[in-house]
Amino acid sequence: MKLQSLLLISLASVAVAAPSWWEQWTIKKHESVIVADDDMRLVQVAENEAPFYTSEKERMEMLRSNIHYMDITDNTDLGTYRAKSLGKKPLPSAAVHQNKVARYVDQLSTANMEVALTEFTKFHTRYYKSETGHQSAQWLYKQISDLIEETDAESDVSIRKFEHDNWKQFSIIARFEGKNESLTNEPVIVGAHQDSVNMWLPQLRSPGADDDGSGTVTILEVFRALVNTGFRPHRPVEFHWYSAEEAGLLGSQAVAKSYEKKGVDVIAMIQNDMTGYVGTKFAESYGIVVDYVDEDLTELVRVYAREYGDIPVRETKCGYACSDHASWAKAGYRSAFAIEGDFSDSSPYIHTANDDVSHISFDHMKQFAKLALGFAVELGYYKGDK
Ligand code: BES
Ligand code: ZN
């Protein structure tokens, strides 16, 4: 299908919030000047459709029209390094570490999350190519390293920057080593994306409180609880904060490709993208995404949600290339995706200047922190056949 007709179809079916007068004014003033039109990139919008080239203007148009795309320009080889014969590792079928998880859950604090998210949303934008997007990555890096330095509990934990070739906002990887050496190459990954975007123009204010400040801070709080309580799993447990998700999953594709190339055997990955908004159509619930995810892992996530959360699960769909779990799936690993509720009941403010903390429920975020904790602890202690 041609991009033009795709845009028409989705424009007709998706109601997009209108820009404020201030945004309209800025768009008029700057559109032709600031959005470079010569940055042609190869994108894919569906699994079985040929990729095509787009200008930056067209990609912004796709963002406004809710067409999810993967920018594969630099990663056409993602998914080609891992031998298909490696297959996927068997997973546990039930939750068995309730006592361990409970110790960490007691550490989770909504007050902490509120402080962190308030600070994180003060950056003008976390757009991956912007100066403030680089500063926000440095801020986040410091929060995580301070947590590691301040604790006297005994975890073997480290942090590193994953630098990207063509932009300054790095991705961040924090890792708890596992006790069992035979499992060193089979980490569990808990992820979120740190960048934000204003769909009217990247230069505009974009607090990205829900998308995805909420997921970023949710997993930061889980990380804090684990570091402070001396988490020492059997296999490595990693926390990832990806750069440039909003530009077509650029950061996570680069990270997933590097793991694939190194022959890392990731056992499971869960993405936390939008965990802070409670919708108005349905009762508060976990949205568990069932399309473009690993079915068995998703079933297990449902088990953990029932075991460790206090709200019901709703199955929902998010479409092709909806968030960073898709990069891990493409690399041949199991991945799952939890969102704030039914897709149709998710925050109407995302990708605008109105995606701020006033629309966030920290209790709702805590539910996702409990789920991510259950995931990290249960799978971190899972020995498989070793
Ligand atoms: N957080 C969104 C995806 C999302 C939207 C999840 C609504 C749950 C509910 C994500 O950051 C996003 O905006 N993705 C882009 C696609 C991206 C690959 C360009 C999108 O939805 O258009
Ligand atoms: Zn997002």
Closest listed residue to residue 276, CA positions, set 369, 193, 185, 191 = 369
Q: C-alpha angle with apex 50: 49 to 55, nearest 5 degrees?
A: 115
- Does residue 63 belong to any structural domain of this protein? no
Query: Is residue 199 assigned to a domain?
Result: yes
| DSSP states of 340-358 | SS-GGGS-TTTTSTT-SGG
Whole-number Å distance between alpha carbons of 366 and 360: 11
> Rounded CA gap, 246 and 267, in Å?
25
CA of 193 to the centre of ligand 2 (A): 7
At residue 43, the 3 state secondary structure works out as: strand
Q: How far is CA 258 from CA 128, 165, 187, 245, 265, in A?
A: 20, 13, 14, 17, 12
Using a pLDDT cut of 70, give the percent of the chain over it.
90
User: Residue 6 pLDDT > 60, yes or no?
Assistant: no
One-letter amino acid at 181 equals E
- Calpha distance 162→357 (Å, rounded): 28
For ligand 2, the distance from its centroid to the CA atom of residue 275, given in whole angstroms, is 10
Question: Which pLDDT score is estimated for 12?
Answer: 41
Mean pLDDT of 287-313: 98
User: Of the bound ligands, which one is closest to the alpha carbon of residue 249?
Assistant: 1
Domain membership flag for residue 385: no
Cα 241 from Cα 272, distance rounded (Å): 10
Q: Which ligand is nearest to the CA of 340?
A: 1
How far is residue 108's CA from residue 341's CA, in Å, rounded to a whole number?
21
Specify the ligand 1 atom closest to the Cα of 247: 19
The confidence score (pLDDT) of residue 118 equals 98
Q: How many Cα neighbours within 13 Å face the side chain of 64?
A: 18
At residue 386, does pLDDT exceed 80? no
Separation between Cα atoms, residue 55 and residue 75, nearest integer Å: 18
62 found inside a domain: no
Q: 139 φ, ψ to 5°?
A: -60, -50
Q: In a mutational test of the pocket of ligand 1, which residue from 10, 61, 68 has the highest number of ligand atoms less than 8 Å from its CB?
A: 68
Residue 20 falls inside a structural domain:
no
What's the pLDDT score for residue 82? 84
Per-residue confidence (pLDDT) for residue 156, from 0 to 100? 93
Ligand 1 environment, Cβ below 6 A: 63, 66, 68-69, 211-212, 245-246, 248-249, 273-274, 318, 321-323, 339, 343, 346
The verdict on residue 46 lying in a domain is no
Residue 4 forms part of a structural domain = no
Q: How many domains does the chain have?
A: 1
Give the model confidence (pLDDT) of 315-338 as tens digits: 999 999 999 999 999 999 999 999
Q: What DSSP designation does 177 have?
A: P
CATH number of residue 191's parent domain: 3.40.630.10
Q: Are 316 and 287 in contact (CB under 8 A)?
A: yes
Report if residue 293 sits inside a domain: yes
Find the 354 Cα to ligand 1 centroid distance in Å: 16
Say which ligand is closest to the CA of 343.
Answer: 1
User: By residue range, what is the domain housing residue 177?
Assistant: 84-380
Q: What is the pLDDT of residue 2?
A: 46
Alpha-carbon span 361 to 227, nearest angstrom: 25
pLDDT at 16: 55
User: How large is the average pLDDT for residues 103-124?
Assistant: 98
Residue 138 CA, chain-centre distance (Å), reads 18
pTM for this model (two decimals): 0.92
Q: What CA–CA distance (Å, rounded) separates 294 from 329?
A: 8
Q: Which atom of ligand 1 is nearest to the CA of 68?
A: 16
Model pLDDT for residues 17-32, shown as the tens digit of each residue: 677 766 666 555 554 4
Which pLDDT value is given to residue 39? Answer: 84
